Structure 1
């Protein structure tokens, strides 16, 4: 009976170690942090990274007071994709953005979109019109003269490496 208890205790300990390693690995792969978006027309940059991959959100905004925003960055289990999302948890931002740019370092962007929330519709995550922003190889940025100064969320996914045949 003692050997059965030892076997059981060993397996429970082993499983606990595996769970702790998995939790540790996910903390190493994803991160969500809060930051203040500050009005005043001054250009600000907020940056967060996972391993060697980095997301920078650069912006200038006017009106109101500071707003709390979130940035989430994550690396896929196979290290093939890096994602970055920047958003206002309350939905609509009361600030007017004069410019914005997200840059993913170490990746080539495969998908990106930007969103606003219009007061008239009351909906959150209304996609910006395609002409309001530009998706480059490693950046997503506002389109001068076309961007309507409303931003509530920005998401981008980049491929971290090329798999050659």
Structure 2
């Protein structure tokens, strides 16, 4: 349990550092938020956004309902060392059932990632998926077959770039 708490503390520290590094009024060449449709029907779709040579791709398949508007935000820290990607439904709870999902950050090594679902109760915030529902690799965050509950409302990943000092 202590190890899990330490990991959570480290993950939170990375997130806080990134939030402090990327100012809210960051220039458009460092942050970007784009709207896209998440489409049901069980077909695999991919949505990709990039800043410079860093890229975030969100691949998914979902069932039920109709198209939903989602957002993807990508950001690059002022020192070019951290690249972030967040994918979420601005209205909160998604009514689609996701059969799979994967976020991939190109040009980085993931330092922090988490996936969330939202409970049906009004006013409640996103709840992290159980750790057994997804895996975090060097450059991907992926659902786990047979463990993922099919509920997704947000996914966040922060990667350390391979930026070298001169």
Common topology (TM > 0.5): yes
Q: Describe how 1:31-110 pairs up with structure 2 within 5 A.
A: 31-110=32-111
Runs of 4+ in 1 over 4 A off after TM superposition: none
| Residues 36-86 of structure 1, C-alpha deviations (whole Å, 9 max, x = no match) | 000000000000000000000000000000000000000000000000000
Whose radius of gyration is greater, 1 or 2? 1
- Could you tell me which runs of 5 or more consecutive residues in structure 1 were left unpaired when the two chains were aligned: 1-23
TM-score (ref. length: structure 2): 0.81
| TM-score (structure 1 length as normaliser) | 0.82
Give distance in 1, aligned partners of 2:77 and 2:157. Answer: 13
Residue aligned with 1:28, SS: coil
Which structure dedicates a bigger proportion of its chain to helix? 1
Is this contact kept in 1: 2:80–2:163, CA < 8 A? Answer: no
Which ranges of structure 2 fall in alignment gaps of 5 or more residues? Answer: 1-24
Q: Is the Cα contact below 8 Å between 1:92 and 1:124 reproduced in 2? A: no
Task: Report what 2:136 is aligned to.
Answer: 135
Query: 1:34, 1:102 → 2: CA distance?
Result: 16
Q: CA RMSD in A?
A: 1.7
